[in-house]
């Protein structure tokens, strides 16, 4: 199973690499994610060269089913976040794993 990378893991790596305190690193990591979130809330697209792009799109209202009862339920329209990996990231993933993992 793959490791989980949390904000604290990112902050620890930043603190070690930049030789700053954990507190300062946590603040920087939080600032980074808060900036992405606030940009998406405004409807802006966030592109990170060599990594990918985050953008929002509108998902239409639809009729779904309650899996427990089978009853139809109205699912309202909503805004969702989409991520598209850059070709650089996609290529790195393909070359490091040899394509899709088999189950």
Q: Which top CATH class is 45-103?
A: few secondary structures
Check: CB of residue 29 under 8 Å from CB of residue 10.
yes
Residue 103 has pLDDT above 60, yes or no: no
Q: Give CA torsion, residues 19, 89, 44, 30, to 10 deg.
A: -30
Locate 3 and state its tokens.
Answer: 């490791």
Beta-carbon neighbour count of residue 39 at 10 Å? 15
Q: What is the pLDDT confidence band of residue 96, given thresholds at 50, 70 and 90? A: confident
Whether pTM > 0.75 for this model: the answer is yes
60-87 pLDDT, tens digit each: 999 999 999 999 999 999 999 999 999 9
Locate 41 and state its tokens.
Answer: 């809330």
b/e burial code for range 43-81 (CB count within 10 A of at least 16 → b): eeebeeeeebebbbeeeeeeeeeeeeeeeeeeeeeeeee
Beta-carbon neighbour count of residue 31 at 10 Å? 10
Residues of the chain with CATH 4.10.520.10: 45-103
Q: Provide the sign of the torsion angle of the four alpha carbons 25, 26, 28, 32, taken in this order.
A: positive
Beta-carbon neighbour count of residue 40 at 10 Å? 17
């Amino acid at each position: 199973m793959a490791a989980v990378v949390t904000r604290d893991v990112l902050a620890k790596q930043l603190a070690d690499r930049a030789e700053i305190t954990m507190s300062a690193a946590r603040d920087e990591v939080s600032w980074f994610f808060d900036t992405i979130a606030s940009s998406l809330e405004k409807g802006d697209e966030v592109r990170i060269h060599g990594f990918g792009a985050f953008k929002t799109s509108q998902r239409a209202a639809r009729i779904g089913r309650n899996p427990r009862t089978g009853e139809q339920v109205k699912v309202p329209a909503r805004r969702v976040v989409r991520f598209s990996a850059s070709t650089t990231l996609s290529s790195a993933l393909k070359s490091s794993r040899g394509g899709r993992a088999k189950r």
